[in-house]
């Protein structure tokens, strides 16, 4: 029996997941397909009932469902509960297990693509949505020393900073305007763009949240946005002489972790990168 995997989201647009996971399934000779499953919020509960069938291995979960699926799971991994988001579901004997692989994928991307260890670092995290939450919790666990959440709405920045506080880890919050960022960005070892600014097809596709003159040449700039591969933010970082890494690495590494949870196999990482890059080019 051919097994089924897929991705839930709405709208799904041009998801890279079918190409990326499809390549891994083919190379490993696993009899399974990976499909895009555009699922409006009012159809999510029904879709998850179908997920319990024996031919379904699991699914990726993307916007706007990462929080909504939580009460529909039988079991939630401690990491997903702490972050408050599920981006990976595994079907195990008709029971649905919820995981968060975004956080682990983010840290692996920093370590493997940029040779950056967050331990002891000073970080500015731009954004306060789901991607920012995953990055913030991941950075706390990886030993970041200082973190500032910068967001357009101060209330959301303060809320995320508050959720992240633990022991001596006391994140701050600020606006995303130039004056606010000028107080923190020049001193950051790591600047993470977890907003949609600079995303292809987004409302601010040609803009960067930070200009080059604020970025230290010793910093690492990481953009969670992966299309285009070089965003305006990464171009500003390069102009500043800083290192710049795009979000495709986080997407692939969270997918690597998910693939293991679904199949028990280590996927071919290079083939997943290649398929994802090909899918980005094909979506121009």
Q: Which residues are catalytic?
A: 66
* Residue count (the chain): 284
Q: Is 25 exposed, middle or buried (0-12, 13-18, 19+ CB in 10 A)?
A: buried
Helix, strand, coil: what percent of the chain each, to 5? 40, 20, 40
Give strand ranges (E) for the chain: 3-9, 32-38, 56-61, 75-76, 88-92, 95-99, 122-126, 146-150, 172-174, 190-193, 220-223, 243-246
Question: Which H or E run contains 206?
Answer: none
The residue among 72, 30, 102, 82 whose CA lies nearest residue 264 is 30
Strand-pair partners of 92: 95
Rg from Cα positions in the chain: 19
The Cα 208–Cα 178 span in angstroms is 11
The residue among 7, 4, 33 whose CA lies nearest residue 88 is 7
Mapping DSSP to helix (H, G, I), strand (E, B) and coil, where does residue 112 land? helix
CB 223 within 8 A of CB 234: yes
- Give the tokens for residue 34: 């990976």
């Amino acid at each position: 029996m051919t097994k089924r995997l897929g991705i839930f989201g709405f709208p799904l647009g041009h998801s890279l997941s079918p190409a990326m996971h499809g390549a891994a399934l083919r190379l490993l000779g696993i009899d399974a397909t990976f499909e895009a499953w555009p699922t409006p919020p009012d159809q999510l509960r029904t879709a998850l009932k179908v997920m319990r069938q024996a031919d379904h291995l699991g699914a990726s979960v993307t916007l706007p469902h990462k929080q909504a699926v939580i009460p529909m799971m039988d079991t939630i991994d401690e990491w997903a509960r702490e972050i408050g988001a599920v981006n990976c579901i595994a079907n195990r004997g008709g029971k649905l297990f919820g995981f968060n692989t975004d956080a682990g994928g983010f840290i692996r991307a920093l370590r493997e693509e940029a040779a950056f260890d967050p331990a002891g670092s000073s970080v500015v995290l731009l954004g306060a949505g789901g991607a920012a939450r995953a990055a913030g919790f991941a950075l706390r666990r990886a030993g970041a020393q200082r973190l500032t959440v910068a967001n357009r709405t101060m209330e959301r920045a303060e809320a995320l900073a508050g959720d992240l506080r633990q022991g001596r880890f006391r994140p701050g919050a600020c606006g995303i305007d130039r004056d606010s960022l000028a107080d923190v960005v020049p001193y950051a070892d790591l600047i993470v763009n977890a907003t949609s600014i600079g995303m292809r097809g987004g409302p601010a596709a040609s803009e960067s949240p930070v200009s080059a003159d604020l970025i230290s040449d010793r910093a690492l700039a990481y953009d969670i946005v992966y299309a285009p591969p070089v965003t305006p933010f990464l171009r500003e970082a390069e102009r500043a002489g800083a290192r710049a890494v795009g979000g495709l690495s986080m997407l692939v590494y969270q997918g690597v972790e998910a693939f293991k949870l679904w199949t028990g196999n280590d996927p071919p990482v290079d083939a997943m990168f290649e398929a994802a890059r090909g899918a980005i080019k094909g979506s121009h």
